[in-house]
Amino acid sequence: MVNALPESKSKSTQACYSFFYCRNMRRIIAEDLDWSLATVSSLSNLCLQCIVNNFEERPIYEDLTSSEKDFIQNRVSLSLPLHFAANVFPDGVYWKRCCEQKWKVCDVSNYGESWKRMFFERQLENIVELFVPGITEPKTVLDMVTLCKDHIKKLNIAQLLPPVKEPQTEDEEQASELTLANEDDKSGMDHFDFRILLGKLTNLEELHLVYKVKSCGMNFEWSMFEMTNRDCESLAKALKSCKKLKLFRLHLSHLEDKKCRLLVKYLLDHTSLRTLDFSHNVIGDSGARAIGKLLTKSKLEILNLYDNNIGGPGAKAIAQALSKNTTLVSLNLCLNRLKDEGGQAICKALLNNKTLLHLQLGANGVTWLTALSLSSMLAQNNTLKSINLSCNTLGEVGGNALEEAMSRNTSVTECSIHLTDIEERRVSVINQMVWNNQFRKQETNPREKNTENAN
């Protein structure tokens, strides 16, 4: 309230005095209690916010500065049509927001530090994993591929759904069982046809597949956990179009010899393929022969055949190719059926091979005979760095042969021989020799030591 003015002043003087007095006493009382002059947006930010609010109707982006683009990406709605956002926003904050909204765990380091690549790879994986043959329209996949084909470098498909079976009467079920018993796999279930997809992903470098159904519950059938002949044929033809493919992994899919040979046939001309993983399947000797042929024609560096049915003849075929191979650095044959026939053949092949660094022969039923062959090989091979012979019956003779070999070898820095019936004292001696090799290597290559510590 304004105090009373002196009555002696003239009316004009009183008016002037009142004006200046009131002006000095005025205060702004905002209706918004949080209002503050310090938070008033600048004109440029108000303009940018106006662009954000009307972005879909009038997208203004390319002519903005980098900071202004960040402002837009941080605030624009995530409900923009995907075909619209894909063509407007490059990799950046917008795609990070999309990923964090859709998935709880977002490790961008697995995607080359690219949020846009992460979003599109995981989005495409989700579409393929939920694709139901005969129900889902292929256009669903093709529309997504049009948007993301330049960003896809890796696909990890953890599930492939079979067609939905319609309910059958009892007579129809009996007729169906008789038909399946007398016919080949031609009437079996088919899964997603990769021919409509892989040929369009020109930058694809890694493909991880498994033919199985997650959380099938009481609807379990063995056919849900294997690929059919038609699946294999379509996949093989699709792989041929992947010119940049470096890693192919097909595991837990009941891959047997016939299908393995077909896949390998279409992989023979893949000059870019470096890693092949057929682990946890049922590949036998015939499939192993095909893989041996692949070793002679390709530039594979890692071959993983863990947990299959490869026996002595199949191992011999791989060994023959290994003796001439100059690119393979890792071979995993654990949990097969090599026996001494296959184990000895692999060891003899390494007398001529000078590139293999890691050999895994665990759980293959090999005995002291293979240990003797390995001992002779280690006396001449100074390339091999790690050996796994665990879960075999090497016994006292095998342990003695390994101890003698390791006493002369300086290259092996990892040697797994647990559960091999070698007495503990001898195991300790062999382990000590391996540790000495590790120590000498670290002293010789301190830079490599620092790298290992950092990892």
Contact 333, 315 (CB under 8 A): yes
Contact 251, 278 (CB under 8 A): yes
pTM attached to this predicted model: 0.85
Residue 376 has pLDDT above 60, yes or no: yes
Q: Which two three-digit tokens encode residue 403?
A: 């101890």
Instruction: Write out pLDDT tens, residues 338-357.
Output: 999 999 999 999 999 999 99
Q: How many residues does the chain have?
A: 455
Q: Which residue has the tokens 């960040």?
A: 70
φ/ψ region of 118 (left if φ > 0, alpha if ψ in -120 to 50, else beta) reads: alpha
- Evaluate whether residue 183 is within a structural domain: no
Please tell me the distance from the alpha carbon of residue 306 to that of residue 323, in angstroms, as a whole number: 20
Helices then strands, each counted (H, E), the chain: 17, 9
What is the structure's pLDDT at 439?
A: 92
Q: What is the CATH number of the domain that holds 385?
A: 3.80.10.10
- Evaluate whether residue 362 is within a structural domain: yes
Q: Which spans in 54-197 are helix H?
A: 66-75, 82-88, 93-102, 115-129, 138-148, 170-182
Q: Which of 218, 209, 207 is nearest to 251 (CA)?
A: 209
Domain around 271:
255-447
Q: Which residue has the tokens 């560096």?
A: 301
Report the range of poorest mean pLDDT among 26-30, 278-282, 320-324: 26-30
What's the whole-number mean pLDDT along residues 6-24?
Answer: 53
By the 10 Å C-beta count (0-12 exposed, 13-18 middle, 19+ buried), 1 is classed as exposed
What is the structure's pLDDT at 2?
A: 45
Give the mean pLDDT of the chain.
88
- Evaluate whether residue 291 is within a structural domain: yes
More confident residue, 13 or 197: 197
Contact 264, 293 (CB under 8 A): yes
Residue 12 has pLDDT above 60, yes or no: no
The DSSP symbol for 302 reads E
What is the structure's pLDDT at 35?
A: 65
What is the structure's pLDDT at 186?
A: 46
- Evaluate whether residue 349 is within a structural domain: yes
Please tell me the distance from the alpha carbon of residue 343 to that of residue 353, in angstroms, as a whole number: 15
Please tell me the distance from the alpha carbon of residue 391 to that of residue 367, in angstroms, as a whole number: 10
What is the structure's pLDDT at 378?
A: 94
Residue 1 has pLDDT above 50, yes or no: no
What is the structure's pLDDT at 218?
A: 86
What's the whole-number mean pLDDT along residues 91-111?
Answer: 95
Please tell me the distance from the alpha carbon of residue 372 to that of residue 401, in angstroms, as a whole number: 6
What is the structure's pLDDT at 174?
A: 58
What is the structure's pLDDT at 334?
A: 98
What is the structure's pLDDT at 409?
A: 92
The DSSP symbol for 323 reads T
Amino acid letter at 340? D
What's the whole-number mean pLDDT along residues 44-55?
Answer: 91
What is the structure's pLDDT at 347?
A: 97
Q: Which residue has the tokens 């390998």?
A: 264
Q: Which of 240, 276, 239, 232 is nearest to 258 (CA)?
A: 232
Residue 131 has pLDDT above 60, yes or no: yes
Please tell me the distance from the alpha carbon of residue 202 to that of residue 91, in angstroms, as a whole number: 19
Position 120 confidence tier, pLDDT thresholds 50, 70, 90:
very high
Instruction: Write out pLDDT tens, residues 138-177.
Output: 999 999 999 999 999 999 999 999 988 766 556 555 555 5
Please tell me the distance from the alpha carbon of residue 314 to that of residue 294, in angstroms, as a whole number: 13
Instruction: Write out pLDDT tens, residues 295-349.
Output: 999 999 999 999 999 999 999 999 999 999 999 999 999 999 999 999 999 999 9
- Evaluate whether residue 96 is within a structural domain: no
- Evaluate whether residue 345 is within a structural domain: yes
More confident residue, 409 or 6: 409
Residue 101 has pLDDT above 90, yes or no: yes
Position 445 confidence tier, pLDDT thresholds 50, 70, 90:
confident
Residue/partner pairs of 48-55 with CB below 8 Å, 24 or more apart: 48/72, 49/75, 52/76, 55/80
Strands 206-209 and 247-250: parallel
Amino acid letter at 335? L
- Evaluate whether residue 109 is within a structural domain: no
Q: Which two three-digit tokens encode residue 46?
A: 């108000």
What is the structure's pLDDT at 14?
A: 57
- Evaluate whether residue 135 is within a structural domain: no
How many domains does the chain fold into?
Answer: 1
